[in-house]
Structures are given as structure tokens and as C-alpha cells.
Structure 1
Amino acid sequence: MRNIDEHSITPAVLESFAQCSDPRLREVLSALVQHLHDFAREVKLSEPEWMAAIEFLTATGQLCNDQRQEFILLSDVLGMSMLTVALNHAKRPEATEATVFGPFHVHGAPELPLGGDMGAGAAGEPLFVNVTVKGPDGQPVAHAQMDVWEADAEGFYDVQREGLPAAQGRAVFRTDAQGGAHFKAVLPVGYPIPTDGPVGRLLQATGRHPWRPAHLHFMIQAPGYETLVTHIFRDGDTYLDSDAVFGVRNSLIGDFQEHPAGATPDGDTSATPFHTLRYDFVLEPSA
């Protein structure tokens, strides 16, 4: 392995994986090295450029913590998140489409009874959500676990705010025997992804905007079905056709209806206008 040059380095590195006992690991690493080396040769990558890339990735990792995942954000804006979703979640036509997970999901969100208020004081216009979860045969999926999370009226998730005494804009619900679930939230608004880190600098350098169209996040899990990670987008949003993370699907655009102040679906009254959303989810059976 002496006298390595720009052409012999690639087969030398590939050969170094020959004793790898995990065939899938060997396959993935070999393809990665091959494409990465070909890329460097194609663009005639300079040493300062490669060092800038290393510094960028280092800064991305340094910004990751329990409240923020900058690498997921990077994956999202480069289209890798949606690419892997598309590669791994081919579904029958009637099943609800998946989309990006996003960097702001939190494990252990409070579980609320049906009808509960997941906004928990978050700023925003009232939204009453009524959904069903079914299988492709139309049978209701009872007791499915439904994680829901969203940003507030200022475009921030609770984990982006300091000093909150409890979770806001996120909760876990369980569908009833008929596969239904209803709860109160706040009307989602479009918001920019965080731009104060390396990913924001990348967007600025490439002339891209950071905006996401208004949406609610859902993760639905039930025995016998694939986990569904998806959004419901708000129809009419300015950024539906230029989502910074490429996540919009026509089938995921919901009809958020506005209502004047008065009686609300939960039997109460609202002194301000409110909104309702009705949507049916169809789960894909697990293999």
C-alpha cells in the first residue's frame, strides 16, 4: 500500500474493508467511499475546501443536544430525509403517505385523554382536530398511539423556548374503539427552520429560504401496522410549493376550516374565531 496516488487510493481503501464480517456494512461503506472519492476527483476538491467541510460538520455536531438536532436539519434541507422516506415507505395507494420526521420530536410527551388540549397555553388561534385511523380494509384501528406536535403562533416549538414549566404543543393520544381521536390544538403557521447554525449559513450561502409551510406532525403506531410519520399541511400556505425540506405531498394537505366566534365542537364557546380539521389516516400493514 505504498506510492498511493489520486487513482490508486480508492481501490486501496475498498480493499481495506475486505475482512469486514458484516456484508451490509461493507456494501454501504464501499459505495460511500467510491462515490465520495469520485466526487472529490470530479470537482477537483481543494484542501481548504475539504477542511471547510470538516469544520462545517464539526459545527453541526457541536450544535446537537437533547433539544436540537442539527444533523436532522441538515439531512432535511439536503433532501436526504425525504429520499430515505421515499425509498423505505412505498405504500399501497390508499395508505397515508409518510414525510419527514423533523428535528423537534420529543420522547415522553404527556399522554392526554381524548378531547384534551395539547396546546397547553401555547400562543395561537384555537384548532379542534378530529381524525380517524383505519387499515386499508376500512377497519378502525383501536387504541393506536398517536404522537402529535406542532409549533406555536410565532413559529417556535416548546423545546426552542427556555423556562417553560411543561410541554406545549405536543401530546400523545390513544384512538378509541372506532379508531377515532379528537383534541384541541392551535392553528399551525408557517415558520423558518433555525438559521442560527451551520445549516442556516448553508441556506444563506446558496440563496435558499428557510421556510416551512404550516403543518401538524403525527406519528401513529399500532400493532400489525407500519409506524406512520407524517404531517397534515394547511391548505393555502405560501410555502407549499417551496418547502425548505421538500416534505409536502398533495394527499397531506388538509382543509382547515375557519369558524366565527361561538359554540365549539367540544361543547364550549370561543370568544374568538376558531378552526377545525377533519382527516382520515390509513395505515399500511406491517410486512
Structure 2
Amino acid sequence: MHGTAPSASADLDETTVTEAAVASFRDTPDPRLRACLSILVRHLHAAVREMEPTLEEWEVAVDFLTATGQKCDDTRQEFVLLSDVLGISSLVENINHRKSSVATEATVLGPFHMTDSPERELGDSIDEVGKTEPCLVTGRIVSVDGTPLPGAGVDVWQADEDGYYDVQRPDVLPPGNGRGLFTADGEGSFSFTTVVPSYYPIPTDGPVGRLLLATNRHPYRPAHIHFIATANGHIPVTTHIFVAESPYLDSDAVFAVKSSLITDFHRLDDPGKAAEHGLPNPYVHAHVELVLEPSRGGGRG
């Protein structure tokens, strides 16, 4: 007889079905998959026992998950958004980045890293539409001992000063606006020009938005710029810098703010420096140090 999963039994009830479900995965060849499914089944069953949902409530839950999947496409990931607002994305990032205290803290990827960033030269602008609050971002990628990491990569993406990513307004914003893939110089340094990002609401036109409305939660994220830094022999880091004094730093809808990532965006009046970077004067400047922890196996992440 093929397969060893237990057959259905009239004797199964709310006290015995959990163990039967766990046992059904006992022949799973991958031990990690088997262990994860067992943990998931036990905790889901425990949650259902605690909630005691009605059949109508369970149908609503299934409809919600169905709608979440239906909202996903090439540029929209509603399940990532759901993971974000439940705090799960933040939890997973923290579990997977238990680094030394001097390494840059990781935070969520977010739902808008859905398209490749265009490769750009150091100093290029990632603002392709000429918004009104110009900003210079400079940075260095270093190891935990302060050693610069020449040739390190940094992937950057952000919302514009109206709070939109390019994929949200394809009829207004050109593809790649607010995005750039840079290679650090021999000192591990990089720079680009952009605009000061705005705080913004996460998308609320789908099931996740309806969940926030039903729970009286606001959908806003504080102003920030995303980074993924990679270097040979080091663990990649996915992180943000948050604009100091932005609204919602104390109530980020996706639980991503960490005090070490809050960054001053200084307003400068320096015509010479502004001209050097092709910016009008005055302009805003932010600097970020991305500190990577060495990996055991080496190789670029």
C-alpha cells in the first residue's frame, strides 16, 4: 500500500486531530520541512482552539487569504505586506541578523523591492523627475573593525517626496525612479543624489488595508531610504535610514524603526559643494555608515 499517512477515522475529534495531522507528515524526507510543518500545525491548532471560530468566521478568514493572494502581481506583494503589518517580517529579520553590536542593524525588506534597480555611477541621481527638495546621500561600507570594503555593492530604493515608489505610479514615475545599484570605490565609499523622501501610507486598497481599517490602525511609515549592502566575505545587510524627526517614527506600521537607523538630514547652505554635486543651493545632506559582519564561509552575498 502506497504511503503511510493515517487514514481518516470517525474517532478523530478536537482532542485528537492535531496529533493525526502532525503524524501525517512523519514520512517527509526533508527533516527541516517535517519539523517546521509539525510546529506550524501544533501552533495553528492551538490558536484555533483558543479562538473557537464559528464556521462563518473561518470562511471570512479563508476569503481574506484568498483575496491577499489575488492582490499579488509582479509589482505588488500583498503577502509581504501582511507579514509586515503583523510584525512577522521584522521578527524574521531580527532572528536572522543576530550580529555583533557594531554591525548595522537589519530591518524589513518591505513590499516594494519588486523590480531590479538600474546600475548607476557613483554620484548619479536616482531622482529622474526633478522633485523640489534635493538631497545628497554619502556613505561608506566597512567591516566591523572599520576596514573599508572596496567594491562593495549597495542597492538603494525609496519613495519620492510625495510618498510614492515608481511601481505605484507607472503612469507618472519612470521605471527605476528612486532606485540605484552602486559599486563602492576603493575606500568603500559611495554617493548619490536624490530627494528627501516623505513618510507615506502602505497600500490600503487591498485586504491588508481593510485589516488595518477594521483594527483602527494607521497605515503610515516614517520617511526612509532602503539599502542592501553586500561585500566579499561579509554577511549582507538589508536596512533603512530613517529621516530624523519624521512623523510616525514611534508607530511605524511595519515595526521596522530602530534608534540606530534614525539619521539626521542636514540642510546645508554651501554653493560650492552644491555645484560640485550638481544640486541647487541650499540642499540636504545625509551620511550613512553600513557596517557588515564577516561571514564564516566568505563570498559575496
Q: Normalised by the size of structure 2, how large is the TM-score?
A: 0.92
Unmatched tracts of structure 1, length 5 or more: none
Q: Is the 8 A contact 2:274 2:283 kept in 1?
A: no
More deviation, 254-263/93-102: 254-263
The residue type paired with residue 145 of structure 1 is G
Matched residue, 1:273: 282
- Paired residue for 1:255? 264
Per the TM alignment, residue 261 of structure 1 is displaced from its structure 2 partner at its CA by 7.5
Percent of residue pairs bearing the same amino acid type? 49
Match of 1:183 among 176, 192, 206: 192
- For residue 96 of structure 2, the aligned residue among 88, 103, 108 is 88
Alignment partner of 1:193 out of 202, 213, 235: 202
Amino acid at match of 2:72: C
Aligned-pair Cα RMSD in Å:
1.5
Number of residues paired by the alignment? Answer: 287
Cα distance in structure 2, aligned partners of 1:124 and 1:83? 36
Alignment of structure 1 residues 105-124 onto 2, 5 Å: 105-121=113-129, 123-124=131-132
**Following TM superposition, by how much is the alpha carbon of 1:166 offset from its aligned partner in structure 2, in angstroms?**
3.5
SS in 1 for 2:106: coil
For residue 49 of structure 1, what is the amino acid of its counterpart?
Answer: E
Give the aligned residue type for 2:293: E
In the alignment, the residues of structure 1 paired with residue 175 and residue 270 of structure 2 have an alpha-carbon distance, to the nearest angstrom, of 28
Letter in 2 for 1:113: E
Per-residue deviation, 1:270: 4.5
Among 130, 137, 146, the residue aligned to 2:138: 130
How far does residue 262 in structure 1 lie from its aligned partner after superposition?
Answer: 3.5
Aligned letter for 1:158? D
- Residue in 1 aligned with 2:150? 142
Structure 2 vs 1, CA of residues 143 and 265 (structure 1 numbering), >3 Å: closer, same or farther? farther
Shift, 1:188, TM fit:
1.2
Partners in 2 of 1:273 and 1:68 — Cα distance?
36
Gaps of 5+ in 2: 1-7, 297-301
4+ residue runs over 6 A deviation: none
8 A Cα contact 2:76 2:114, kept in partner: no
Between stretches 121-130 and 153-162, larger displacement belongs to: 121-130
Q: Is the 8 A contact 2:199 2:220 kept in 1?
A: yes
